């Protein structure tokens, strides 16, 4: 098992139906209101799948910035577009089937050759993408049922 470097906790509280409020562990972070898409929810906030897409895109954009700065390559207004395909598995359950992320780091034409260095390595710095690609051990307990 890997060495634990840090830990954080968030809290998720149902408001009504499929609407939830996510409270982060830092006072400086605003609550996040989530909801499911119709017909289950009313789309008053992002769905978990959309938050996953945002996490992937944001982490990859930040990793590109990090790798580019480390290599001394200027970026300009980094932009990420994330396309998520939802599929049904063999049991007809919805799953994320494919995610495509396009990063535009705004490299100047004269920096393109130098930017190949960060391009070759930036994905490796992305905590979220690399974790999802490898699979994440998740322990699930149900309060009142699993000894909690």
- pLDDT tens, residue order, the chain (148 aa): 689 999 999 999 999 999 999 999 999 999 999 999 999 999 999 999 999 999 999 999 999 999 999 999 999 999 999 999 999 999 999 999 889 999 999 999 999 989 999 998 999 999 999 988 887 666 767 667 586 6
Question: What's the pTM?
Answer: 0.88
The DSSP H or E segment spanning 103 is strand 94-104
For the record, the structure tokens of 111 come out as 């920096």
Handedness of CA 139, 142, 146, 148 (dihedral sign): positive
């Amino acid at each position: 098992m890997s060495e634990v470097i840090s830990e954080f906790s968030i809290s998720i509280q149902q408001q009504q139906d499929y609407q939830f409020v996510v409270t982060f562990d830092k006072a400086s972070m605003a609550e996040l209101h989530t909801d499911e898409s119709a017909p289950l929810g009313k789309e008053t906030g992002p769905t978990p799948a959309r938050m996953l897409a945002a996490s992937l895109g944001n982490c990859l954009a930040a990793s590109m910035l990090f790798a580019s700065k480390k290599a001394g390559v200027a970026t300009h207004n980094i932009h990420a577009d994330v396309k998520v395909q939802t599929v049904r598995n063999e049991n007809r359950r919805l799953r994320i089937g494919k995610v495509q992320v396009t990063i535009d780091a705004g490299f100047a034409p004269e920096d393109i050759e130098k930017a190949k260095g960060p391009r070759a390595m930036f994905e490796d710095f992305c905590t979220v993408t690399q974790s999802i690609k490898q699979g994440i051990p998740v322990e699930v307990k149900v309060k009142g049922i699993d000894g909690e």
